[in-house]
Amino acid sequence: MDDTSAATGREAGIGPRTRLECKICWSVYDPAVGDEVWQIPPGTPFTDLPPHWTCPNCSAQKQSFLLLDD
């Protein structure tokens, strides 16, 4: 065990193309699309979103997003 993997464990399953769904309003963040509300360019992984990014629909924080399996 190392501390690094523990700290980043939640993001370990998030790849550059992984989509995530807001558990509040079910909005989906798709890296292929980006987020025009936040002016996030297409191709931006969820893990590269700015720390202050929130759901463009309901303002839920990133922690409220759940992995979507392809």
Residues 3-42 that bind Zn ion (CB under 5 A): 22, 24-25, 27
Task: Rule CB under 5 A: say whether 49 interacts with Zn ion.
Answer: no
Task: Rule CB under 5 A: say whether 66 interacts with Zn ion.
Answer: no
Q: Which of 58, 61, 66, 68 binds Zn ion (CB under 5 A)?
A: 58
Q: Which of 35, 53, 55, 62 binds Zn ion (CB under 5 A)?
A: 55
Pick 8 or 57: Cβ nearer Zn ion: 57
We find the least distance from the C-beta atom of residue 37 to Zn ion, in angstroms, to be: 11
Side-by-side strand order, sheet with 20-22: 28-29, 20-22, 65-67
CA angle 62, 66, 68 (to 5 degrees): 130
CA 38/CA 41 separation, integer angstroms: 9
What one-letter code names the amino acid at 40?
I
